[in-house]
Chain A
């Protein structure tokens, strides 16, 4: 079974600075997808960024980028120019590329709560 580990329960960053959230995962599969979800106080789960394991190029979405190290099974999220609205819980998640029922689920880490200070 796949596991996802987020070792930083809480992080803090000053507005306009850069912060990196860590995520490691364990899998025996070679093809899969990785995600970062943001959960603001509204509790809504918002997809921030996704990475396909077969792509070597790191995904970027505006101020959000990832550092995907497949051999090390590491998938960190970098937030540049942090804004107050970035304050939220961030979850790293894994999904197999196998198109079966069990494999279609998202496996989540335990989350990192990001605080943004002035």
Chain B
């Protein structure tokens, strides 16, 4: 089954404790992206990747890191989480051409206390 998976689905952590949210897709997509969803703000892009070893900042990259060492995986790293990073996070992927649909993962609910 074609899908984007994220882990964990729920995470409660404390300020400053490094964490990684994993994202994996099995559709051989070149393009992968992370979004965060906050009430009243919709979804905003954090980082994206056009292919292996090619990543760039989105609209709200502060406090986040990413890597793309393999085509299927695109982890989101919070090296020192803060309460303002409490949010719902989505990973998405697609083929590079913009005519193709972006597929979303199931979301990760992160709470930083």
Contacts and interface: CB of A to CB of B under 8 A. Distances in A.
Note whether A and B form a binding pair: yes
Interface in A39-74: 42-45, 47, 50
Contacts of B88: 43
Given A95-B98, A104-B31, A110 B104 contact: no
Interface in B56-113: 56, 58-59, 88, 90, 92, 94, 96-99, 101-102, 104, 106-107, 109
B106 A108 contact: no
Contacts of A104: 31, 33, 48, 50, 94, 96, 98
A39 B56 CA distance: 27
A108 B98 contact: no
Question: Chain A, interface size: which category?
Answer: 20 to 34
A19 interface: no
Interface of B is mostly: strand
A8 to B, nearest CB: 13
A27 B20 CA distance: 35
B23 to A, nearest CB: 14
A109 B41 CA distance: 7
Contacts of A47: 101
A97 interface: yes
A60 B97 CA distance: 23
A33 B98 contact: yes
